[in-house]
A and B are shown apart, each in its own frame.
Chain A
Amino acid sequence: MPTGPTRERAQPVIELHELRKSFGAVRAVDGVSFVARDGEITGLLGPNGAGKTTTLRMLYTLMRPDAGSIHVDGLSAEEEPLAVRRLLGVLPDSRGLYKRLTARENIEYFAALQGLDAATARAHTDALIDTLGMADLAARRTEGYSQGERVKTAIARALVHKPRNVVLDEPTNGLDVMATRSLREFLRRLRGEGRCVLLSTHLMQEVAALCDRIVIIAHGRVVAEGTPDELRAVAAESNLEEAFMRIITAAAPGSAAAGGAP
């Protein structure tokens, strides 16, 4: 597959190849490969403990893979971790805010760390505050924010440098229906802008409602990959949830207890 600094639509922009990572004797990620493209929402679907978070942590260079390679827009994560991080907007698994700073200050802190000058940081922050509908809380300290308000702030600070590639680890975790709905709306909007969106989730409904492509991970390995329709066809199931269960169960080494997705 061609990878290079010039990007065209629908070319793979995030490319993971044969990633492996062990913690002691536990093989958390055991040969994961997939690609995520511009203008698409790619869903990394798998039960808890399947290796999604570890895979994403390697992608955004918080962890080093034991083996395998990662390329973002043609840049190697191993060789140029800082450049790769600049190309990514990441909502990680932990999303703590600075509670004595306002939402705006939280966002502008990350803008400055991304290297934006004060004027650009302010403009980008204003735009995000507007888009995410957080105008009336931006000047308040984040202490006492609701879960939804916290996630909005965390997303805004992750995207303040206008990254082409957006990586979100379980973005709807802990959100109520309203907040989930508006978040999905926002992610579709990012796709509409031609960005590459990669998210992980253990929720079937999430991928069904949102994703153009699905990568199913279980036991640290990719067990299936394709559009929702393709996956339904592979599993010979019209219901995506049933398809998911069937694929995961089939992949389990000698065990069927790989569920956990509600």
Chain B
Amino acid sequence: MLLVGPSGSGKSTLALALAGLIPRDIPASVGGSLVLDGTDLQRLDRPALAARVGLVFQDPATQLVMERVEDDVAFGLECRGWPVGRMRGRVPEALAEAGLAGLERRRSHRLSGGQQQRLALAGVLAPRPGILVLDEPTANLDPAGADAFLDRLRAIRDARTTTIVLIEHRVERAWSMADLVLALDGAGRPIDVGSPADVAARSARRMHEAGIWLPAALEPPVEPRQTDGAPGRPDSQGRSEPAEPSGSSRVGIEARDLSFAYETGRPVLEGISLDVGPGERVALVGPNGGGKSTLAQLLVGLLRARLGTVTLGRRNPARLPAAELARLAAYVFQEPERQFLAERVGDEIVLGLDLARRPAASALLADLGLPLERFGDRSPFRLSGGEARRLSLAVALVRDPSVLVLDEPTFGQDRRNYERLLSILDRHLRAGTTLIAATHDPRFVADVVDRVITIGDGRIVGDERVR
């Protein structure tokens, strides 16, 4: 079964309830009942429940317990009291089912993100659960990692011995794997449930309105978002529309022979040379761990290159005092919660901000669906994933940066938030802001950027103009 719904519709809550963690480990008031093979979930004890339901979460880092691959797969079996002989037989099997055969003695932190997520899958599969619940398992993975993960999931599905409940935002591949689709609306009420074909025929429009992504082929026709061909570009006569945000001067970036390595280990980047013109919109794509974020951080002086030079508007950004750098560039980090520095949303947005820009801040937050009246006193750490992402974007945009860097800006966003993000971004890009976005999202690349640079193994392996 594929479970879809906009942010905050209760998909993860349902996953936790299916695994019996709600209300057991997370106190909650629960109505109704969950019946598993004729037994009420509430009446099963923990080992019995865990033997039947396996749960895979979004972030591999929060699921792996042991240092070695085989030990981690065995962990769930140890907890259920399996005899050693059976464990020794089952661990390699489970690893093979997850496509990790032969990696038993490896250290799990040495695996790629995609392999780590399949290791989490192997650990959950090991006790042969009847039901496998996966909560956005591919959201943190690069396209290759996500494909490998879904390949394994398809193989499990085709074996037809395990019930699968998959929660995803981006459903291009998952849609065709499902026998059943359950769509929830923003309030957590079911919109529709049925076979993918029936649900698409009956409810595509309502799902679209609720902000749910559908496979591109099934999206109901919508009136074009922009009238001119390239959204947000000044039109062909060279008349640019009156842009609302102003004051950001156009700034380009030059990088020459950049190399970078962290304190220990092999170089992350080697010999990168790159020119980004003022107002250009560049996507950095390529596998995770290839050096995209590192390059983005070097380009705006958040890291200092070991060799080579970076010039940001005629200056070396790594040597600029913080206050001057902040006037030129803004950076939205991959994980919003790692960049929040204040206790309240209202303080977060004005931290380090010129007084003159404060009125703009509250208008921007309202535009992004985070009005200060409602959110001002909330803790940034208590926001939903989508809200936190929009707050981090607001913090960057309110400064009218000449150069804006976004690290995985669309990660885990439902369709409505994605469109909101795009329209706000659009207004700023029209004013001539240079955009550098590290991203895996083909849709974002198609909608926003005009140049795609592919980074692989620390080098530029592709550089093409797409618009």
The answer to whether A and B come from one shared complex is: no
